[in-house]
Amino acid sequence: MPTVAARALDLHKRYGSGDSEVRALDGVSLDVGAREFTAIMGPSGSGKSTLMHCLAALDTPTAGEVQIGEVTLSRLRDKALTALRREQVGFVFQAFNLVPTLTARENILLPLSLAGRRPDPAWFDTVVDTVGLRDRLGHRPSQMSGGQQQRVACARALVGKPSIVFADEPTGNLDSTSGAEVLGFLRRSVDEFGQTIVMVTHDPVAASYCDRVVFLADGRIVDEIREPGRDQILEHMTALQTAPALRRGRTD
């Protein structure tokens, strides 16, 4: 069994109160294996983004606990929680979130600069060469394609050697070719660098790159598969879309 990189213990997340209350998470427990590529999938409103935000310390659950490694997040003060997000967690978002006035090199190194940390030159070179952007380091985002920008974002997430990387629909704004390049890089970062990645996606093709797919519906984990194939994932998603329990409104 793999080492646990992150853990959710009976997570609940509620919005509103009374008749307008929405249960985005309704008792979710999940172990994320270290050095694995895990996808979180589910219909719109299933709670997948809420789960990822709680796991990544971007949101606070109403009840339950989240652990990253051996650290229980609810026990951390704000300063320590900020430090954990900065030093142990990497992020890749659908919208790239690059600074338009900075070059690719500067964007990649920005989290380290903000933390006052020096980059490891050898590791920087390894990440840049693996992501295939050596000849784009001096370019600003406006001078790069969407796929190149997302690969910069992936390199930025990895350059600080985080314990875990969270990717929220990282191929959502990309064409199929660029998306495949980004997913291939994420896959290599697990296989070659021993990275842990959790990805929220609605795309069966993207999820097929993963070691494990966890399915949410109605704020709960309802199924999971390992070594998934595209058709197998599509069958699961189709079944979830037509399940009667999903006819109630939820917040994603």
**CATH code, domain carrying 71:** 3.40.50.300
Query: Residue 252: inside a domain, yes or no?
Result: no
Segment holding 92, helix H or strand E: strand 89-93
Q: Is the per-residue pLDDT at 237 higher than 60?
A: yes
Mean pLDDT of the chain: 89
Question: Which residue range forms the structural domain that includes residue 181?
Answer: 4-247
Q: Is the per-residue pLDDT at 250 higher than 80?
A: no
pTM, full prediction: 0.89
Place 215 in a pLDDT band, splitting at 50, 70 and 90: very high
Model confidence pLDDT, tens digit, residues 75-102: 999 999 998 988 899 999 888 899 999 9
- State the Cα–Cα distance between residues 188 and 141, nearest whole angstrom: 24
* Mean pLDDT, range 98-117, rounded to an integer: 93
Query: Residue 44: inside a domain, yes or no?
Result: yes
- CA distances to 10, 11, 66, 197 from 7, rounded to whole Å, are 10, 10, 6, 13
Total domain count, the chain: 1
Closest CA to 124 of 156, 78, 163: 156
pLDDT of residue 164: 95
